[in-house]
Amino acid sequence: MGFPTHRPRRLREDPRTRMMARETVLAARQLILPLFVSEELSSPNPIKAMPGNFQWPIGMVERPIREAMEVGIPAFLLFGLPVKKDSQGSPSWDSDGVVPRALRHIRKVCPTAYLITDVCLCAYTDHGHCGLLDGEGHILNDETLPILAKMALAHVQAGADMVAPSDMMDGRIGFIRRFLDENGFSRTPIMAYSAKFASSFYGPFREAAHSAPQAGDRRGYQMDPANAREALQELRLDFDEGADVLMVKPGIAYLDIIAAARKEFPCPISAYQVSGEFSMIKAAAEKGWIDEKAAVLESLISLHRAGADWIITYFAREAAVWLKEIA
């Protein structure tokens, strides 16, 4: 009987050689934890569709930040939940709004936390869309850009280290970049939600952020999940307009887009493991159908293997602990 010269499994039998041969190594420093900050709460409010996640009062949001930083998570993505909303999303650029207040509070108690803010109108408009609407319900793309820029500036002035526009309006990266530069914040980086797909995996987030559209949907500005070439075009537009980091959202269903982005662009690529991806793993684990730890680590390593330098995930704190165990 002839035997093959090459037997890849030789390096799999011993856990020491498995560790030495591991091609993809993910670290806690590459994870970003999303957090929801509420203007009206006085105590944490559990998010039913996302077990273990909460809407946090402004004065208590440092609690999950401190816990995450203790295990090596350096960065946090803040979403604001305002008390009042209107058709223009005017609370979004209020210097005393929910996110600026949260930023100033965190800066006092967790000064070394790296704070990224979501820049989008959906949680601030009474209609729930990411841009202004005309009388017939159509998105007013160009009219929305100055509001997004004012929102970004309010966040940076309050202490944000980075802003992350997620609205998918055309031209918003260039507009925000110029506006920040003109107001003395040329050093502030932008992480663009560049290839943001109109995904079915966003459902639990809409409970968390109170951001569901009151009518219609977001397919007119978020991307068709069937389109890969268009995703590269969107990534290219944001890169050319001055984005420092390009994001693909969601994660696991779009590994091909992440891999293509990593090959095409020199800047960091981020991926967002979104609420639906989180909740599916949680629900299956609660049923005993999968091993939560194994599934979380496999999914995150898959995102990193595909090309994501940074991963936004609700599992960040738990994953940081588990990653140390396999290091």
**CA distance linking residue 83 with residue 78, whole number of Å:** 16
User: Do 304 and 311 meet the contact criterion of CB atoms below 8 Å apart?
Assistant: yes
Phi and psi at residue 258, to the nearest 5°:
-60, -45
Task: Give the amino acid at 324.
Answer: K
DSSP letters, 144-190, are: HHHHHHHHHHHHHHHT-SEEEE-S--TTHHHHHHHHHHHTT-TT--B
Is 249 among the catalytic positions? Answer: yes
Q: How far is CA 308 from the centre of its chain?
A: 12
Q: How far is CA 282 from the centre of its chain?
A: 19
Rounded to 10°, the helix 255-264/229-241 angle is 40
User: Do 244 and 189 meet the contact criterion of CB atoms below 8 Å apart?
Assistant: yes
List Cβ<8 Å contacts ≥24 apart for 230-234. 231/194, 231/195, 231/197, 231/257, 231/260, 231/261, 232/195, 232/257, 232/260, 232/261, 232/264, 234/194, 234/195
Of 48, 108, 150, 196, which is the active-site residue? 196
Is 196 among the catalytic positions? Answer: yes
Of 48, 85, 150, 249, which is the active-site residue? 249
Active site residues: 196, 249
